[in-house]
Structure formats: C-alpha cells, structure tokens
Chains A and B, each alone.
Chain A
Amino acid sequence: MKTSEQMTNDVLSRRDKAIKDRAAARRHMMRIGVPCAGCLALAAVITVNVAVRSNNGLAAEGNKEIAYITNSNGEKVGYYIDSDGEIHYIHQAIAFEKDEIYFNDNFMSKDIAIDLDKSRLDFKPMTEAELNAYYGTRLTLLSEKYPDWKFSNAPYGVYSNNGKDVWTENSVSYTSPDGKRSICIDINKGELPLYSGVGGDLKDSSFVVADGEGKAVLFRCGDDLFKAQFMRGGSGMLISASGIGEKEFLDIVREYLSYPDFKSSEPGNTNTAVIDVDAFNVDEPVVTDPNELREMTMNAVNRFFNVELDRLTIIHPEWTESHGKLGIYRHEENDGVTASVSNYYTINTINYVTEKGNKISVSVQHGKFAPVSDETFTEDKPVSLPATSVITEYDENGNIIGQTTPGFNPDFVIKPSPDKNASTINGYEALIYRDANGNFIADIAMRSRVRITAEGVTESEFLKILDEFTL
C-alpha cells in the first residue's frame, strides 16, 4: 500500500501528464480562449521576450512578408500582412502591444512575442476621451466604482496600415488593492474582441442574460471566473472578472449594457434569466435541431435528473441491463453573441431482465409529480398540455387504486392523500397500479418523476424493488 508521500507524488505526476495531454489536444484549436488577453500579454512580456527574440526573424515566402518564429514543436508561428494591409495569423495571436505581437504557443501558457514590423504598422495613440468617442461607450466606466483599484495604464490606440485600421482592440483592467479581484474589459470596433468566448474550463453551468436590445452571453468558467461578451453601440465588448462573485459581475455587465442611455423594454425588469445546464458549449456558434438528442452518460443523466436512475444496476449486478441512447432533447441557439437553451421533457429508461427472467424497467422524466398515464410518458417533445381531467381507477372490489390524467400539466399538481390513493415509499409519494395483465407500475415523486414497471413479479417482490430504488 502506498504511503501518503508516494500517493502525492503519483497524483502530481498524473496531474502533470493530464495537463500536458490536454495542452497537446487543444494546440490546434482555431480559436482559443484566454482569461484576459491584455492581462496575459502584460504578464508575459518580461519572461518571454529575451528567449524568443533570438529566434525570430522576417522572411519572404512567396509574395508575402512574414514575421515568424519556430516554436518548441517545430511549428512556425507568426503573421503576415497581405497587399490590402490585412493581418493573417499562422498561429494564434493573443495580443498586440505597442512594439510587439504576442502569440500563444500552446493552450497552457507558453506565450511568445515577436517584434512588430513598425515600418508596416502605425500605432495611433488615443486619449481616454478619444477612445470613448471611437467605441461609442465609456471604457473606463468602472473607475468611479472602484476608485482605489489599480488601473492598467497601457498606451491605448489602434494600429493601422496605409491609413486603414487593422487592429482595433484595446483592453483596460482593474485590480483590487489586495490583488485578489480583477476585472478586464476588452473592446473591439465593429466586432467582438478576437478571443471572446469561453476561456479556461467552462463550468457545468452557464447562463444567458437578455435585456431588451442589449444581449450578452455570459460564461461561468474556471474558478470564480466570469465572462460576458456582447455588442453595444457598434463595438464588441468582452468583460472578464475573477474573484468578485456573480452578483457584482452581473451588475457590471448591466452597467456597460445600459450605458449611456439604454432603457430596458420593460422598466424595472432586467429580464435576467439564469439557466442551469450541465454542459453548454458556446465556443462555436450552434443551432441544434429541437429533435436532436443531446446524448449523456449515465452519470450526467443522474446529475441532470437528480436521481440515481441506475441504482438497481448497482444493487443487482446479476440482472441483465440494457438501455437505448440516454440524454435529453434540447434546443440550443448561439450565434456567438446571443445564446439560449431549452430542455424538453425527455424520458430515459433502463430495462432489466432478472435472473428469473422477469422484466423490470425504470424511467425518469423531468417535471412535477402528478399521477400519470402512459400518454404523459411520451417520446414527443415538448409534452403537450391538454385540459386536465382526473380519471379515478378502481379495482374489482370498488376500491380506489389510483388516479390518472390524460396528459401531464406541469402547473397542475395533484397531491393525493397518502391513506387513500398514494403510498409513501421511504418518504416519497408514489402511486402504484396494476395493469390489465397484472403487471405493476409505480409512479414515484422523487427529485424527478420516476416510473418503475415490472412484469412477472409478485407484489412483495415489486415492493422490495421500490424500496431498493428509493432508499
């Protein structure tokens, strides 16, 4: 058995290997996210310049002028400027400084810098007032809100070539006196900043704010890192904040969205919608088909429905298990600026065959608990909402054995009293039925709706299964 020291060393080795593998996998991504392009470039300036300058150079390749270096993997990284003065990147550029252009060697952090060809690009410095006029907003809006925070004092302006603006991004950043909180604002003319989008590890949840004409895509990623990107007044903004918390971050986003005279379509209503989703890939624009199943692993299904759907698999490894594709039907829209996601009621089912050949199935579906009929466990998305009526079912002796509704209305919740129609299984309300063939059905109000059906089992066996599943 390993000692603590041995295990620590092994864990750290595996951690380092995982990071290396992840970096390699992401190296060729066309677009990468960095927490804050401007801040990262500033941080990299001293450590990388000296090592790289000896390697960089200018070369002619065809009719293009290229500034490049060879990185540690033997790949050329750099840029060239075509005859129209447009800059094209051979690898990912992460930021411009006055005299240098920064490239990201790989996803992790190996940033490199090469001298900018000053003879080709002109830097036009701008004052704060000129910047605000240029971008149609007040870039330094937060200076009053955080008067004691350290404000980045970089030279601001745009790069142009032969009179044409070719690089119009600027960044400002604010850092708290203790250095634990920071806010960075990247802004670009006419389009979003180059590295908008998810940076770092996107967390399981993301959310979208839509506020009248101003719409922002918000990301919660990394540890306590929030980002927002939106177009406003003809300029694209990317706000990145760490250490300040969600509420404060949303306030900042609203301030920028509402400047200078923005009014919500509904006064007093900011229309902030927070949608928790387990994974929401907003890195690439996407519009999914509403009827496209977003496949999930069993673990993800369990997390999403907040129920251990495969609990019987663990308890009864001797049973044969089968299931179709798992997941939820959802509709995502994301054009890079605005995003939304809708989930539909989707059933996930696991089927078992016991060692005696009996068939058991366990299904889970989102929604409030109500007595259900087969019609409500439908493959249709979304579930239709028919007029609610309750059908009471009786056994051959005239006793009420349950109630069903022809369709599931999530707003209409029936709470049968436990001593009449519903049973209580380990604290969960449940309706237990027998169909015409004598098979058992139980609808259980767990954190999501669960239906368990069984063919060929006795009542006591079925109750034992319900007990095992719910305990």
Chain B
Amino acid sequence: MDNGESSYCRFISGDDNALGEIISSYKDGLILYLNSIVKNLGTAEELCEDTFVKLAVKKPRFRGNSSFKTFLYSIARNIAFDHLRKSREHVPIEDMELSDEGIDLEEAYIKEERKIAVHRAMRKISPDYAQVLWLTYFEELSNKEAAAVMKKTTHAIETLVYRARNALKAQLEKEGFQYENI
C-alpha cells in the first residue's frame, strides 16, 4: 500500500487530515499534468482542486488494481476532458507560455534543469504527446499505468510515446538543445 492509498483509506474512514496529506503529495504534479491537457495553468489549478473535491465528496472506490497515483490521475483526466468538452477551448500552441508562478511551480517540482528544458519544449508539442510524456517521463508511470490513465491500450501508448519522443526531439533540435537519453 503506497502512501497515497494509505492516506485515502484513512480519509474514507473519516480522517480529514489525510486529505491534506494527499493534496500536499500530489497537488503540484497534478497541476502540471492537467496543464499539459488544458494548456492554462490557472485552469489546471482549478481542475486540480475539482479533482480533490470529487475525491472528497464522491469518495470513489479505490480497488487497488492500480497505483493510487494512476487512480488519481485518471479522475483528473476525466475532469479535464469534461472541461474541454464544455468549453471547447482551443488555445494556439504559441500562446502556451507559463506565467511566473507557473515557472516557480515547474522549477520546484521538476528540480533538474535538463528536465525543466524538456518540459518547456513539451509545451510546443501536441497535448496528447505532452500528456503521455508527462506520465511516463516525469511521473515515471509504466506504459501500462499510463494506458490506464489515458484509457488506451498499452500498444497505443507505446506508439504514442515513440511519436511523442520524435516530436519532442524535433522541437528540442529546433531550440538548439541536446536530446540524447530522453
């Protein structure tokens, strides 16, 4: 049982402090993941809060057949796609620069300079590519776990990762970066 799962069990049993632990552990990563989908940090933060509200109100059953992170990210992804359906927003890729506080969050969460450069290049590739790279590269989910979050087959994730890496490679080259070992 990972920490998130243990905290969620305690929250289900009535311990509100456990929800604070979950939020503290997953908030920043979740905001950056949601940002890869909606391409707007403010919206990503709101959707992140909506995700935790859903967890707190509906208390969806965690069956334990995936990691708690996979479970949480699946809920977040559904909420983000709901938002996209309702808003039908289409943000041009060139408008996706992070605000100052977004940069602070990015640097605090990702830490490594090389990875931060990669993350910034991810803003210029398609949302699907950015999503799958965030899950597999930054959150270190397996292809199977990423498939569960993105509701795709493992095979589709493998293909998506392959294409996403190529797109990222091209983007990094364009910006004059080294891309080996990504």
Known: A8-B19, A12-B16. A313 touches B85 (CB 8 A): yes
User: How many A residues face the partner with a CB closer than 8 A?
Assistant: 30
Interface residue tally on B, bucketed by range: 35 or more
A435 an interface residue at 8 Å Cβ cutoff? no
Q: Could you say which of A4, A18, A201 has the most chain B C-beta atoms within 10 Å of its C-beta?
A: A4
Q: How far is the CA of A470 from the CA of B157 in the complex (A)?
A: 11
List chain A residues, Cβ under 8 A from B61. 203, 223-224
B84 pairs with A314, CB closer than 8 A: yes
Known: A203-B61, A426-B155, A471-B160. A15 touches B90 (CB 8 A): no
A147 an interface residue at 8 Å Cβ cutoff? no
A7 pairs with B23, CB closer than 8 A: yes
A1 an interface residue at 8 Å Cβ cutoff? yes
B53 an interface residue at 8 Å Cβ cutoff? yes
A471 pairs with B81, CB closer than 8 A: no
Q: How far is the CA of A298 from the CA of B160 in the complex (A)?
A: 24
A427 pairs with B156, CB closer than 8 A: yes
Q: How far is the CA of A299 from the CA of B78 in the complex (A)?
A: 8
List chain B residues, Cβ under 8 A from A201. 58-59
Residue of A nearest to B154 (CB): A427
Q: Could you say which of A1, A7, A11, A201 has the most chain B C-beta atoms within 10 Å of its C-beta?
A: A11
Q: How far is the CA of A313 from the CA of B58 in the complex (A)?
A: 27
A396 an interface residue at 8 Å Cβ cutoff? no
Candidates B12, B84, B159; contact of A426 at CB < 8 Å: B159
Q: How far is the CA of A11 from the CA of B160 in the complex (A)?
A: 34
B42 to chain A, nearest CB (A): 9
A12 pairs with B85, CB closer than 8 A: no
A314 pairs with B27, CB closer than 8 A: no
Q: How far is the CA of A352 from the CA of B139 in the complex (A)?
A: 35
Q: How far is the CA of A467 from the CA of B81 in the complex (A)?
A: 20
B107 an interface residue at 8 Å Cβ cutoff? no
Q: Could you say which of A310, A315, A426 has the most chain B C-beta atoms within 10 Å of its C-beta?
A: A426
Chain A, residues 304-346, CB within 8 Å of chain B (1/0): the string is 0000101001110110000000000000000000000000000
List chain B residues, Cβ under 8 A from A310. 85
List chain B residues, Cβ under 8 A from A14. 49, 53, 56-57
Known: A4-B24, A19-B57, A299-B78. A427 touches B49 (CB 8 A): no
Candidates A5, A15, A19, A203; contact of B20 at CB < 8 Å: A5
Residue of A nearest to B37 (CB): A314
Known: A308-B151, A426-B159. A18 touches B53 (CB 8 A): yes
A356 an interface residue at 8 Å Cβ cutoff? no
Chain B, residues 74-103, CB within 8 Å of chain A (1/0): the string is 000010011011001110000000000100
A-B contact pairs, 28 of them (CB 8 A): A1-B31, A1-B101, A2-B45, A4-B27, A7-B23, A8-B19, A8-B24, A8-B52, A10-B49, A11-B49, A11-B52, A11-B53, A14-B53, A14-B57, A15-B57, A19-B57, A201-B58, A201-B59, A223-B12, A223-B59, A223-B61, A314-B85, A317-B84, A317-B89, A317-B90, A426-B159, A427-B156, A471-B159
Q: 5 closest A-B pairs (Cβ-Cβ)? A: A317-B90, A15-B56, A427-B155, A4-B24, A8-B20
The interface of chain A, by Cβ under 8 A from chain B, is 1-2, 4-5, 7-8, 10-12, 14-15, 18-19, 201, 203, 223-224, 298-299, 308, 310, 313-315, 317-318, 426-427, 470-471
Q: A299-B82, A313-B85, A471-B128 are in contact. List 11 more A-B contacts (CB 8 A).
A: A1-B31, A2-B45, A7-B49, A8-B52, A11-B52, A299-B78, A317-B84, A317-B88, A426-B159, A471-B156, A471-B159
